[in-house]
Structure 1
Amino acid sequence: MAKIEIYSSPFCGFCHAAKRLLTQKGASFTEIDVMKNPDRKAEMIQRAKGKRTVPQIFIDGAHIGGSDELHALDRRGGLDPLLNGA
């Protein structure tokens, strides 16, 4: 199974939507709450090439983007292979 990291905040609807999709897919993920851990926000910005909004999602170290990009990837049929390590 893929290693999934999602930088999020508790009041972010897009974060909830992304986590809901991953959960529906049966994927486990590590959530990094940038409100509880503000020092991790700088890490997120660096890893996401300057993106400052949450969520920022990484699968096996590759930057996927935010919720919109995750859902678009799923619609194109590209999410399941990544989640299964293909």
Structure 2
Amino acid sequence: MADHPSTFEGTPLKTGEEAWQDRAALVAKESSDGLLSGANALRRGTFAEMIRHIAMLPEGERDQYVIEKKGDREYSAAEALELASRDDFPSNG
């Protein structure tokens, strides 16, 4: 996830770290596919903030949303919850 292409030859960087501070958006799952899906963002912030937001939603609502992260990657609610449970997930403070 932190392995974004560098500007030199477009090759991924091997940092081994999550990019918790990357820009991300919370998007309704039904409108997440397509060219203008980023324009449909319900909320924007850091990747960690969007993960926290999904984790705070009632269990029955989580699957209605995805996180679109810098680098054109989409994370499901299940993936977000897995990331939130990691030891290296940043605290809210």
**In which range does the TM-score fall when normalised by the shorter chain?**
0.3 to 0.5
Bigger Rg over Cα: 2
Q: Which has the higher contact order (CA 8 A, sep 6+)?
A: 1
What is the TM-score normalised by the length of structure 1? 0.33
